[in-house]
Amino acid sequence: MLAEIITIGDEILIGQIVDTNSAYISKELNKIGVKVYQITSVQDEREHILQAFKDAKEHADLIIITGGLGPTKDDITKQTFCDFFNDTLVEDQSVIENVKHLFEKYQLNKPLPANFRQAMVPSKATILMNKYGTAPGMWMEKDEIVFVSLPGVPYEMKHLLQEEVLPRVIKRFNRPHIYHKTLLTYGLGESAIAERIADWENALPEEVKLAYLPSLGKVRLRLSSTGNDERVLKESIDSRMEILNEMLSDIAIGYEDETSIIGRIAHILTQKNQTLSLAESCTGGAIAENITAEPGASSFFLGSIVPYKTELKTKILGVPSSIIEEFSVVSIEVAESMALNCNKLFATDYAIATTGIAGPTKGDGIDEVGTVCIAIATPDGVVSEKFNFGNDRYRVIKKTTNKVFEMLLKEISKN
Amino acid sequence: MLAEIITIGDEILIGQIVDTNSAYISKELNKIGVKVYQITSVQDEREHILQAFKDAKEHADLIIITGGLGPTKDDITKQTFCDFFNDTLVEDQSVIENVKHLFEKYQLNKPLPANFRQAMVPSKATILMNKYGTAPGMWMEKDEIVFVSLPGVPYEMKHLLQEEVLPRVIKRFNRPHIYHKTLLTYGLGESAIAERIADWENALPEEVKLAYLPSLGKVRLRLSSTGNDERVLKESIDSRMEILNEMLSDIAIGYEDETSIIGRIAHILTQKNQTLSLAESCTGGAIAENITAEPGASSFFLGSIVPYKTELKTKILGVPSSIIEEFSVVSIEVAESMALNCNKLFATDYAIATTGIAGPTKGDGIDEVGTVCIAIATPDGVVSEKFNFGNDRYRVIKKTTNKVFEMLLKEISKN
């Protein structure tokens, strides 16, 4: 069976926001065997929305629509729904109660008339109660095709999808199984990987698809297949992936969803009962942010220092100013001193240090924009490397972060 | 004139990546007066891509396509282009030279045959040379409609769009002016804002559109209009926005694109020659990352400490352990002590401290998940507040970050 996703909102078409809802919905539908045929973003305009509904109905059995359900005047999805289904808006008492309940729970002022307008819904719609916001979701059918309308606020959309939509989809439709598995690799480009695995790739059967997903120092390799027997499907993909993992054992770090590179690092450090600290200069908190975004980071991550100004490398981290003067602030010597001192200060087993020039200007440094030194202090000493990551600030920070995790994983896997 | 964007790639439709290219392209097209009618994401499938080309041709004068140009087998955009334009692939010498040049420049191994396959392009296409990757962009026309194909790697796509595509679009098409202006507000919900500005909103002329964009503690208000006289357009929107800014002066912080809340903070601190440091516990580096993502942050931001483990609040920041024992680690008292000590350690004018429980588990704390204390040490003392930001880790960190910037802006604007 096929689904389509329609996201409504001028803010998407003028590039004011990035549509993250579609990716989330697609991923969740895939997990239950629903293939997404197309994603379409349209304007807050009656005729355009109606046309999108009509087009989607040609291909899909299930159409999920997000956005346009706010209490303000620019939101017209509900009225357009009525036009499409030949329906009228009626007041729903359960939504009124929900609005009152939410305002009490979050100790807000009295609901305004606009808030109660959320209770006006198409009479034929099945209401999907929104526990986290005032706009309800709606489930409607026309000619055996299911239309689901959800609010555009990602948090509310996600809860409604999980709690109300997916269980109903599972009950309503027969679905095959879709199975993806993705291998994460660091440190080799996609063409070089393709050349290395050419024989294996050429021997893949028709129904198994391989995709290459390169980005800033890592390449993800995805195998996908669809079928009716979940066990056969899983065995076919898993066994092929095992061979691939073996062939790429020097660059592969594990499977996506089962692990991330931070997940692998967390697993190893926690098992060994070892700890990590950071001294981030040019990455300015990005490494810490990546680590602490994972729940449970506190079992191995003790903390971080961002000595953004050069003098703080001396004052807080204790890097001798003579080293900075002799070798410059972006140097292997300074990075190593930062890492070693950081390890002492936090009393950790491993400490990572970054110093570099993310750009666009040279800041405190004298080196080229994009120059980055990374050092890792370990229980046995310190390793370090100097790179040039180009002249785009965002990419320099991202590439440094990816390289740091690649180097750290290598170090902690050694003993 | 109207444009459409088509993004090609199974990875989008299975939710493995979020399509950020469309938002970027839409924003850039809008700036030069090109309205984006629709964004469509389709699979790596010949028939589907051809159908998308055909549909887009019905509405748009300019169709921009991204993705499917990689050197590996899963990428089929070029061949599909040939089918659509009734064309064949030929080898382009300039692309061969570019591949060689890139491999030399980045000191890579010899190019592989797959890399040289990038030089096979439709014979009717105008080649748009890609300085940052091996896949060239292509410009083709059919029945007066322009089709542009760009690689899906965001960095390469952005450079090609700026350097090759936009200048050609400006030359090729007559375009009206599109003007948006967006006011940023912090601390009041969209319904409450709508109620406050109802009279002003009702008096807006037909051609001026207002949109509300709420997210985690802030609401953006966008006015948009299209017309042929840029000056008249700009005056009409600017004057209305000034009135709105005045009406909402207690919650408005400025206009998007002209400023962000960090931009405002940076401007004020730099002008006053004042400095900032951070002690981030529950936000784990997210505030530092937000600040240092802006170029030029080093003019006021000295650095940050992330004392992720409780004992480090004492050891590195010098928070007396008696305070932690008496009031618990997530308390106003600990937050204030962290902020005051941070200000001393970094010798800054302002220091921000966060301590809280982002969840999903309670970590070192005894409080409810979502409890967050924020303190700001200022030249005059310290201010602080305790919040509950709910039970979703991502949202707790995001809401804390937004609230920190809101509180800091208030403090630094005082004197």
Q: Which of residues 9-28 of B touch A (CB under 8 A)?
A: 10-20, 22-28
Residue A331 and residue A338: Cα distance in Å, rounded?
11
Please tell me the predicted confidence (pLDDT) of residue B104: 83
CA dist list (Å): A47 to A41, A51, A77, A79: 14, 6, 11, 12
User: What is the tens place of the pLDDT at every residue in B318-343?
Assistant: 999 999 999 999 999 999 999 999 99
Mean pLDDT of chain B: 90
Span B205-214, pLDDT tens digits: 988 988 888 8
Q: Which of B38, B280, B293 is opposite residue A41, by nearest beta carbon? A: B38
Asked if the C-beta of A70 comes within 8 angstroms of chain B's C-beta atoms, the answer is yes
pLDDT at residue B129, as a whole number: 94
pLDDT along chain A (415 residues), means of 10: 94 91 94 93 93 94 92 80 93 92 77 85 94 92 94 92 95 90 88 90 89 84 89 92 93 80 89 95 90 83 90 91 93 96 95 89 72 96 92 86 92 84
Q: Which residue of A has its CA nearest to B398?
A: A293
The yes-or-no verdict on residue B258 having pLDDT over 90 is: no
**Where in the sequence of chain A do the CATH 3.40.980.10 domains occur?**
2-172
pLDDT band at B7 (very low <50, low <70, confident <90, very high): very high
Over range B233-251, report the average pLDDT. 93
pLDDT digits (tens, 9 = 90+) for B357-401: 887 776 655 678 889 999 999 999 999 999 988 878 888 898 899
Residues of B in contact with A112 (CB under 8 A): 191-192, 194-195
How far separated are the first and last CA of chain A, in Å rounded?
A: 49
For the domain covering A2-172, report its CATH number.
3.40.980.10
Query: For residue B360, is the peptide bond before it cis, meaning its omega torsion is within 30 degrees of 0?
Result: yes
Q: Which of A55-69, B97-111, B169-183, B241-255 has the lowest mean pLDDT?
A: B97-111
The alpha carbon of residue A356 is apart from the nearest alpha carbon of chain B, in Å, by 13
Specify the range with the lowest mean pLDDT, choosing from A58-62, A394-398, B81-85, B148-152: A394-398
Instruction: Identify which has the larger pLDDT, B73 or B49.
Output: B49
**A187 interface with B at CB cutoff 8 Å:** no
Res B415: pLDDT: 63
- In this complex, which of B52, B212, B393 lies closest to A70 when CB atoms are compared? B212
* Residue in A9, A57, A5 with CA at minimum distance from that of residue A34: A5
Q: Does B286 touch chain A (CB under 8 A)?
A: yes
For residue B141, the model assigns a pLDDT of: 93
Judge whether B297 is closer than 8 Å to chain A, CB to CB.
yes
The whole-number pLDDT of residue A364 equals 58
Whether a cis peptide bond, with omega within 30° of 0, leads into B111 is no
* Residue ranges matching CATH 3.30.70.2860 in chain B: 177-255
Listed by number, the residues of chain B in 205-244 with a beta carbon closer than 8 Å to a beta carbon of chain A are 209-215, 220, 222, 224
- Contact yes or no for A353/B382 (Cβ under 8 A): no
Residue A19 Cα, gap to closest chain B Cα (Å): 7
CATH number assigned to the domain covering B261-412: 3.90.950.20
Tell me whether residue B292 is exposed, middle or buried, using C-beta atoms within 10 angstroms of its C-beta: 0 to 12, 13 to 18, 19 or more. buried
* Structure tokens that stand for A187 in this block: 């440190």
Residue B186: what pLDDT?
87
Cβ neighbours of A201 in B, within 8 Å: 73
Q: Enumerate the CATH 3.90.950.20 domain ranges in chain A, comma separated.
A: 261-412
ipTM score of complex? 0.76
Nearest chain B residue (CA) to A56: B40
Put simply, the answer to whether B72 touches A190 (Cβ < 8 Å) is yes
Please identify among residues 304-363 of chain B the ones whose CB lies closer than 8 Å to any CB of chain A: 304-309, 312, 316, 345-346, 359-361, 363
CATH number of the B177-255 domain:
3.30.70.2860
Q: Are A116 and A103 in contact (CB under 8 A)?
A: no
CB nearest B71 (choices: A12, A74, A190): A190
Using the structure block, give the residue that is written with the tokens 């382009």: B92
Residues 6+ away with beta carbon under 8 Å from A235: none
Look at residue B68 in the predicted model and tell me its pLDDT: 85
Q: Can you give the pLDDT at residue A216? A: 76
Q: Which residues of B touch A35 (CB under 8 A)?
A: 13
